[in-house]
Amino acid sequence: MVTRMSSLFVRTLRDDPADAEVPSHKLLVRAGYIRRAAPGIYSWLPLGYTVLRNVERVVREEMNAIGAQEVHFPALLPKEPYEASNRWAEYGDNIFRLKDRKDADYLLAPTHEEVFTLMVKDLYSSYKDLPVWLYQIQTKYRDEPRPRAGILRGREFVMKDSYSFDVCDDDFLKSYQAHRDAYIKIFDRLGLDYVIVSALSGAMGGSASEEFLATSETGEDTYVRCTSCDYAANVEAVHVPVPDPLPYDDAPAAHAEVTPDTPTIDTLVDHLNERFPRDDRPWHASDTLKNVIVTVVHPEGSREPLAIGVPGDREVDLKRLGGVLEPDEVEAFTEADFAANQSLAKGYIGPGVLGSENASGIRYLLDPRVVDGTRWVTGADKPGSHVIDLVAGRDFTADGTIEAAEVRAGDVCPNCGSALEAARGIEMGHIFQLGRKYADALGLQVLDENGKLVTVTMGSYGVGVSRAVAAIIENSHDDSGIIWPREIAPAHVHLVAAGKDDAVFAAADELAGDLEAAGTTVLYDDRRKVSPGVKFADAELIGIPTIVVVGRGLADGVVEVKDRRSGERVNVPLADAVAHLS
């Protein structure tokens, strides 16, 4: 294919857009790949859309190669499946909600576990049907609190999400490994510098969880890496080990004193009534509350863990809620309440959890959102082993923020004992074990070999497809512009007709046609009234890895071939150009 600059819908810009902070955002706008439509929402222009589809192609090929099957679900979905899984409440302000003309609730899906689970439930009923791996490449919607950095964190973005369905955990591990292998191939082909870090599974619950982070200073994730071996882990995985729960009987009998700084359930309830008054009736300590932000967990042992909840409103000032909860008060919340909230307790949507343990051995966890931007996550697969043990001042500052980037003195690599260092990354992919969270909530069971009903076990695997477009640029650009890997670039070759003579254009036209015939895609700068200087600057900005100039050398029968990354130029006889470039 030959795309002619003279008719291409593009306008390159000399200046950085005022709202752009990171290189990828600046360059994508300047080079005419994207335009902002609203905060965190972007339109794709022809060059950008080509690149996006190239990324999709790589992802699709590698997913198909492991035997995953592509499907396509609606982005607009009714609330009921998300209510069944509790995520309608859990997601809080993070989802876009809307109503139809009959006043029924809908959402623009932020991720699709529920409806994939229901689809498999609809069609399959036997172990013989499993495993099955389904994926889609689809637009997702999340009302991110801080959309930033252009398409790196959009409120509308393209994700590849896949889901594996297995009859048992051993089989699940094979599904997980196959996806992990596919992800390595995908990110290699995308030309990203990345690390695979173990991660906690956040909103999704489950235990096995790894993230693929593109190494970049502009990333919002912090991970630690070993200074001598290849160990890398997300900070919370290192800094917040999940300790063995205390046996309940060992817990001291004495209760810590309640001070004004350590509110009880009553002050919690007062707080709710003050900040979130309800029309029908005031908040009461025994309410079954929808969106858990405070979780009280008895240590495992003689007792079931208990949880309490308060409504999910991110305005809650958790420091006011933090403190000691008397066991008697905790027991005002029944185990049934806990069961109702269990999936929330298992996997909280949100960036983190602060927690501690009081003198009576009851652990309590405070709202994650107080540490916005960090990811000290729950996601323990059994209640009672949530993230605990954080110390104020050490793990989070007085204003409730965690200094996640700080690697504490004395932290060493668990593999080789060398020092660890902190680094930043962009989350490009996330693979994790969902376990039976969704299958339980939505009743996905199959008959096993013995004719017994078993609950299906699931995995969930995401790739940030539109984010990858930006992350590749974060990894690969210079002062003049973008430098694409060949497979992702909007064309293989950027052909510049540099000069005024008709002979230059005639030779360039012919070369463009010959390259096309050889299967090489060409962006051909055939503009007549644009100076060579402007064309060269545009070529550098747009970032196609090979730039071919038909110009002065034509008299000697050569064209200049420039490598965008190294800047190296060679003259190639016109007659050899196609062979050289294909």
Q: How far is the CB of 219 from ligand ATP (least distance, A)?
A: 9
Interface stretch with Mg ion, choices 61-69, 166-174, 395-403, 428-436 (CB under 5 A) = 428-436
Nearest Cα residue to 500 out of 538, 531, 534 = 531
For residues 211 and 201, give the distance between their C-alpha atoms in angstroms, rounded to a whole number.
Answer: 9
Would you tell me which residues interact with ligand ATP (CB under 6 A)?
A: 111, 142, 144, 153-154, 157, 159, 427-430, 462, 464, 466-467
Q: Compute the least distance from the CB of residue 159 to ligand ATP, in Å.
A: 5
Q: In this complex, which beta carbon is closest to ligand ATP, that of residue 34 or of residue 548?
A: 34
| Angstrom distance (rounded) from CA 520 to CA 543 | 16
In sequence order, the 6+-apart residues with CB closer than 8 A to the CB of 317 are 271, 275
Q: Which of 474, 475, 469 is nearest to 487 (CA)?
A: 469
Structure tokens at 404: 């996640």
- CB-based closest residue to ligand ATP: 464
- Beta carbon of residue 142, minimum distance to ligand ATP (angstroms, whole number): 5
Among 60, 239, 319, 430, binds Mg ion (CB under 5 A): 430
Phi-psi region of 350 (alpha: psi -120 to 50; beta: other; left: phi over 0): left
Closest distance between Mg ion and the C-beta of residue 353, in Å?
A: 14
Answer whether the bond into residue 131 is a cis peptide, omega within 30°. Answer: yes
Piece in contact with Mg ion (CB under 5 A), picked from 333-341, 400-408, 423-431, 539-547: 423-431
CB of 432 to Mg ion, least distance (A): 8
Q: Which is nearer to ligand ATP, 151 or 482 (CB)?
A: 151
Which of Mg ion, ligand ATP, none does residue 234 bind (CB under 5 to 8 Å by kind)?
A: none
Q: Return the closest-CA partner of residue 209 out of 244, 246, 178, 180.
A: 180
d(CA 149, CA 180): 27
Q: Counting beta carbons within 10 angstroms of the beta carbon of residue 16, is it exposed (0 to 12), middle (13 to 18) or buried (19 or more)?
A: middle
Q: State the binding partner of 159 from ligand ATP, Mg ion, none, CB within 5 to 8 A by kind.
A: ligand ATP
Select from 255-263, 313-321, 386-394, 420-428 the region that touches Mg ion (CB under 5 A): 420-428
Instruction: Output 4 or 148, the one with its CB closest to Mg ion.
Output: 148
269 vs 463 by CB, closer to Mg ion: 463
The residue ranges of DSSP E strands in 363-413, in sequence order, are 363-366
Candidates 294-302, 426-434, 493-501, 543-551; binding stretch for Mg ion (CB under 5 A) = 426-434
The residue count for binding Mg ion (CB under 5 A) is 2
Quote the CA–CA distance of 350 and 320 in Å, as a whole number: 19
Which CB, 309 or 464, lies closer to ligand ATP? Answer: 464
Nearer to Mg ion, 299 or 429 (CB): 429
The full length of the chain comes to 582
Q: Which spans in 154-264 are helix H? A: 169-189, 235-239
What token pair was written down for 450? 């013995």
Q: Which residues bind Mg ion (CB under 5 A)?
A: 427, 430
